[in-house]
Chains A and B, each alone.
Chain A
Amino acid sequence: MGRSFDVTSLPGVTFVAGLAFLALYAPIVTLVAYSFNDANAISVWGGFSFRWYEAAWANREVQSATARSLVIASAASVIATSVATMAALGTTRRAAFRGQTFIYVAINQPLMVPEIVTAVALLIVFASVKVATGYAGLGYLILAHSAFCIPFAYLPIRARLEGMDLSLETAAADLYANPWQTFRHVTLPLLAPGIVAGAMLAFVISLDDVVITEFVKSAGQDTLPTYMLGQMRRAITPEVNAISTALLGLTVALLTVFFLLTRKRG
């Protein structure tokens, strides 16, 4: 039975939505397509090839920037996820306490402050610390990334915890499990999908950061995004397309896993 008049339809909606999806994807698809371009310039199509991937792969700067990005993202996501898990356990499923709102606001603070302001603040503070201590290693970047990754790790873990009821833990305690055993054998396995989801979001967020990294890094500490930003000031070769496409593929893969993990069942 067909309806002659669909009340939910508004004139032009499908048209504008179609244009929006086209506008969202056309530039990305173009970028990906030209990463396989055999020509030297971006605007001319010279046939299909992997040469820019090979060029990027062989580029020393790209190699070290990739390694640095992965080290920072791994360290920051492990740190952020660990402390965020503890904070989520401390702020959910318990009697409301004084300062709970403060903790909540403090954890979400990196989401509210413009990145450029945080970047400048870290530049100022770390510049003094670098002079005072003489240490100029990756520690600063890992600390900065850990901080802004905390809310991204915290939110999915907290959401998962709020959906878990306390009965299983109470049962474990009734059976004489001590608090650590209860946590290790009951809470942690139930919480695991939330922790993995939080860690993956943190990893993606760290991997993508440009602004804070650009201000905090010492000389010769380029990550993949800051290396790309530097390249954009010069004549752009499709090598940047190749790196972008690789990074894009990694992000999409991680996000797909994230959605499968956090998908509501039933």
Chain B
Amino acid sequence: MARRDSARSGWLLSAPALAILFLAASGPLLVVLIYSFLVKGQYGGVIWEFSSDAWFEVFFTRDIFSDEVSLADAHLAIFWRSVKLSLMTTAITFAVGFPTAWFIATRPPNRRALWLFLITIPFWTNLLIRTFAINEVIRNEGILNTLLIRAGLIGRPIQILYTDTAVLIGMTYVYLPLMVLPLFAAIDRFDMRLLEAAYDLYASRWQVLRRIILPLVRPGIVAGSILVFVPSLGAYVTPRVLGGGKNMMIGNFIELQFGQGRNWPLGAALSMLLLAIVMVALLIYVRAASRESGHG
């Protein structure tokens, strides 16, 4: 097929998909960017005048009486909580996910598919259902507290629900498969004979882990970390159901601006900021991934 024909039919065949994506995915993102530079309407919506107030408001507050400018502590606290909880989620899912992925990858080949399938079922299960399942476990009258009280370990239920801990438990639970799957893919490619060689040369277990396994499965670690960090940072359902009204993350704070907050430009600016952070994380991933493949 001639190259020019190939390009023309390629574009023509892709056009309907691209049109739908432009209408209901990428196009609206441009509108959000524009909205972040408009003036907020009194009852929601926007007034079509240029203003950088929303972006200013993301980081700073101006005292209504003294006109004094200070850092927007409330906003920064929400950002910090989101980043902190997402990093912790990433760390915990790695600590649990690495042994799990290693376990699956070292099963006999005929049983490996079954273990992998067991990881994929929760992955494809509705996020809301999984969050709700965790809710039932950690509620005051939930399974965890009931068991602990029956065992006589605690006298009264521990309040976990509606705390940052609950959000952390929930996010770790719902995003764990996203860490295990890329780690498994990396470990599966790992040549186990290297371990034999290392032990023959009197390496200790710790040295083997640090000097051989971890460097070689690094692409999987990077991929898993990005796959967990990115949705954690933009999480909306899990903090809403488990965190209650007070423990907001960026996603819930954005929603608030379009609801009770009635500050669409601020919501738009926050959305763009979240998108920018995610894009930086993805760029780091792409660069790390291409460096790896450049070596191989």
Contact = CB atoms under 8 A, between A and B. Distances in A.
Interface of A: 5, 7-17, 19-21, 23-28, 30-31, 34, 41-43, 79-80, 82-84, 86-87, 89-91, 94-95, 97-100, 103, 106-107, 109-110, 112-125, 127, 143-144, 146-148, 150, 154, 204, 207-208, 210-211, 215, 225, 228-229, 232, 240, 244, 247-248, 251-252, 255, 259
A252 B121 contact: yes
A16 B128 contact: no
Give the one of B18, B241, B279 with max A CB within 10 A: B18
Interface string B2-25: 110011011111101110111111
B117 to A, nearest CB: 7
A10 B27 CA distance: 50
Summarize A's interface: helix, strand, loop or mixed.
helix
A120 B278 contact: no
B129 A10 contact: no
Interface of B: 1-3, 6-7, 9-14, 16-18, 20-29, 31-32, 35, 45, 96-97, 99-100, 102-104, 106, 117-122, 124-130, 132-137, 139, 141-143, 146, 173, 176-177, 180, 192, 195-196, 199, 205, 209, 230-231, 233-234, 236-237, 240-241, 250-251, 254-255, 258, 264, 267-268, 271-272, 274-275, 278-279, 282
A252 B231 CA distance: 23
Nearest to B281: A112
B128 A225 contact: yes
A153 to B, nearest CB: 9
B96 A20 contact: yes
Contacts, number: 263
B173 A113 contact: no
A170 B19 CA distance: 31
Given A10-B205, A94-B9, A103-B10, 6 more contacts: A12-B99, A99-B7, A113-B25, A120-B254, A125-B31, A228-B129
A106 to B, nearest CB: 6
